[in-house]
Amino acid sequence: MPSITVRNLNNSVKQALRERAARNGRSMEEEARLLLAAAEVPAPKHIVSFDDASSSRSATSMNTEAGGKKILLIIGGGIAAYKCLDLIRRLKERGISARVVMTNAAKEFVTPLSIEALNHDKVFANLFDREAEHDIGHIRLSREADLIVVAPATADLMAKMANGHADDLASTVLMATDKPILVAPAMNPRMWSHPATRRNRKTLERDGVLLVGPAVGEMAESGESGKGRMAEPYEIIRSIENLLDTSPKPLAGMRAIVTSGPTHEPIDPVRYIANRSSGKQGHAIAEALGRAGAEVILVSGPVNLPDPSHVETIHVETAREMQQMVETALPAKIAVMVAAVADWRSTDEADEKIKKDGGKGPTSLKLTENPDILKGLGHHENRPDLLIGFAAETENIEEHAKTKLERKKADWILANDVSADFGVMGGNQNSIKLLSASGVETWPQMSKEDVAKRLVDRIANHFDWTTTSI
């Protein structure tokens, strides 16, 4: 694998790499390694164009729908406060300006000087600051932003919000605002599951407060793990962009069902049949559909990915569970079946671990075919208006995809090559051939996020054409 030192790149290359890394939720070093591995590092004068001319980015900030918007970031007093440094950096990359309010407890974890140096703006912390309050500063702060973000939102801060306390600048701003509020909870798992926190969360949700996270993982406390980790900065950014996105919603009012990830078909309590699907493509498509205004139901097999924001996610394990949830979600205008469903399952799942019988060779395993979810939808009485399937193939890509299109009564099949020569399942790139009754479209290799965007644009154009031609 080639090596690279990012600091030695020229400024334009570094900026382009920084933007691409932020867009994909990775560090610059990781993004550089992936680019080198794929042998797709463009020449410096073209590095701003990542896929084609239509996806170019500004050299000073990322061209996102939320660019130019303002947020007020309230930093609570938890160890996760350090993540806000990265959050502020990512906001700046996207052209989103932030003003920062810190609680007194937050200053025990991150200094105002660190925030000010990174954000190039004053940090607000004191409700009785003479300079800030001469014009009722807490009211001004609460109204000037397009969105208020609380990260980390501690149990104490959530309790204040839910019960209307206003005894410091942060809680007073939250009481005085008329703008949307997004909170990123962060606390010990037992605090998150405490009845008081559960009550407060329900109150906040009824009041229209939106949540991102928390995630499951290791805690700062030694030996502690569970649900309570603050969402990662890129997840919070994604929620912020969705909330600030005022772009047209061509799929508004349409329900879409998406499947994603693998399925796990149990053999015994410790073994299962599966494949290498990561769920990245399905999750990206679900999120892109949501951004286009669709009401999205994502039925996901076991994956190591956060749930997409503003998408209803249903977690399943087996093919039969996935089929049941998909059919329960009908009727729908759009269905995109991305999941790599296991073709077979064991006819008899063992109640106990199957043990090796020394010297007698492997135990025979009887298999039966799993339900074909895509085919089932193609022949369903509530068949979606636009039914799209995926075909991961290793040879004769177009031939196999065309057969699948006809046999399963789909409208489109998106075929991708997962052979060892081209790439394996679970990667970050995809190269698509879209097959329909009209023929074959070949898309260039691009990130899975860009595949999702292109597909959703194609879906929107399809329904626009359908509507105008009637």
Q: Which residues are catalytic?
A: 275
Q: Based on the number of CB atoms within 10 Å of its own CB, is 219 exposed (0-12), middle (13-18) or buried (19 or more)? A: middle
Q: Sheet of 412-417: strands edge to edge?
A: 312-315, 295-300, 255-260, 334-337, 386-393, 412-417, 432-436, 439-442
What is the Cα–Cα distance from 138 to 453, expressed in whole angstroms? 40
Alpha carbon of residue 196 to chain centroid: 29
Of 293, 187, 185, whose CA–CA distance to 235 is shortest?
185
Token pair recorded at residue 284: 């990206």
Q: What is the dihedral of CA 115, 117, 119, 120, to 10 degrees?
A: 140
What is the Cα–Cα distance from 457 to 442, expressed in whole angstroms? 15
Q: Tell me the angle at which helices 155-163 and 169-176 cross, rounded to the nearest 10 degrees.
A: 40
Token pair recorded at residue 453: 């965007």
What is the Cα–Cα distance from 154 to 218, expressed in whole angstroms? 17
State the amino acid at position 178 in one-letter form. D
Token pair recorded at residue 433: 């051939």
Residue indicated by tokens 């799993």: 370
Of 388, 381, 356, 367, whose CA–CA distance to 452 is shortest?
388
What is the Cα–Cα distance from 370 to 277, expressed in whole angstroms? 17
Of 55, 44, 50, 51, whose CA–CA distance to 14 is shortest?
44
Buried b (16+ CB within 10 A) or exposed e, 91-110: bbbbbbbbbbbbbebbbebb
What is the Cα–Cα distance from 248 to 464, expressed in whole angstroms? 13
- Biggest CA–CA distance in the chain, Å, is 86
What is the Cα–Cα distance from 441 to 462, expressed in whole angstroms? 14
3-state SS, residue 168 = coil
**Phi and psi for 342 in degrees, rounded to 5?**
-60, 130
